[in-house]
Amino acid sequence: MAAQVCDLPTHLLRRAILGFALVAPIFTVLFYRTNALIALSVLFLSHILLLYPTLVPNSQWWGPVITSFETSRPQVWITIDDGPDALHTSKVLDILDRFRARATFFVIGKRIAETPELTRDITLRGHQIANHTFSHLSGSFWIFLPGAIAKEIDQCSSEIIRSTQTIAKYFRAPAGLKNFFVHPIGARRDLQLVGWTVRGLDTLQRSPEAVAERIGRKTRPGAIVLLHEGHRTADNPEFHLKCLELTLSKLAERGYEFVIPAPEQLRPHVAEK
C-alpha cells in the first residue's frame, strides 16, 4: 500500500489523508448502527494514515524529506545530531579533521545557548550548522500544534544566527518524527527537511564496532549518514567518538569522501528507516 500511495503527488496525498481523517469520524457515527465493524474500521484506517507519515521518519507523505544526494563519486554526507556538547564537539571536530571530512551538525538550540563558542568552532572549521529544534522534545514534538512547532524551530534558528551569524538551510525533527504541520512551517522559513539513508543506531547500540559495521554495510554513494554526540557523557564518554572514528575509517578504506552536498544534489527518496 505504501508504494502505491506514494505515487501520488505530495500535495494531493496530503489533502487526501487529511480529508479522509475529517470525514472518517462522521462516517463512523452515521453508520455505526448499520455496521459497527466497517464503521470502526474506517475510523481505524484514518488514524493509521495519520500516524504512518508522522512516526516513520523518512516518509514522504506529508512532504519531501531529503534522504540521499546525487553524485557520480564515492561520496557520503556525515550528519551529527544533538550537539553542541562540551565534552564531545571539540574532539569530534578533531576526528573529522584527521579524515579531511566535512559534516553537517544538526544542533539543539538550548545547547547552543549554553556553549555558543562550540557552535562557532564548528563553522570556523569548515562544517555546516542545521536546525534540530530548541529543546529536542523527541517524545512530544510530533504531536505539537503549529505555534509550538514554530517556536521550537525559530528559537533554534535565533541561537544559530546569534552564535555563528549564519542562517540554517536544513531542519531535522527530533528522532525524525514530524506531523503534518511541520512541512508548511519549514517551507515558510526556507528550511528543507533532511532525514538519512543509514543510521548506526548509536543511541541504542552498545558496541562502536557494531555501529560502524552497520553503517559500512548499508552505505552507498550519495548516502546521508546519521550519528550523534552528547550522549553517554557520564557512563561512556568515548563511545560516540569511537563510533565516528570507526565509521570514517571503515568508509575511508573503501575510498569514500566526506562532503557537504550542494543544494541541487539533494533528493527526496524513501530510504533505510
CB atoms within 10 A of CB 171: 23
Give the residue ranges of DSSP H helices in 59-207: 89-98, 109-114, 116-124, 146-164, 182-188
Query: Angle at CA 258, nearest 5°, toward 248 and 97?
Result: 70
Give the residue ranges of DSSP H helices in 56-142: 89-98, 109-114, 116-124
Cα–Cα distances (Å) from 95 to 4, 63, 167, 177, in that order, read: 43, 35, 25, 29
Summarize the confidence of residues 49-60 as an average pLDDT: 96
What confidence score (pLDDT) does residue 262 get?
Answer: 97
What confidence score (pLDDT) does residue 269 get?
Answer: 60
Model confidence pLDDT, tens digit, residues 113-172: 999 999 999 999 999 999 999 999 999 999 999 999 999 999 999 999 999 999 999 999
What positions carry a catalytic annotation? 81, 228
9 pLDDT band, cuts 50/70/90, is confident
Please write down the HEC assignment for all residues of 161-174: HHHHCCCCCEECCH
The pTM of the full predicted model, rounded to 2 decimals, is 0.92
DSSP state of 115: -
Query: What is the distance between the alpha carbons of residues 58 and 271, in angstroms, rounded to a whole number?
Result: 7
Model confidence pLDDT, tens digit, residues 66-91: 999 999 999 999 999 999 999 999 99
Indicate the SS3 state at residue 2: helix
CATH number of the structural domain 66-268: 3.20.20.370
Asked if 124 and 98 count as a contact pair (C-beta separation under 8 A), the reply is: no
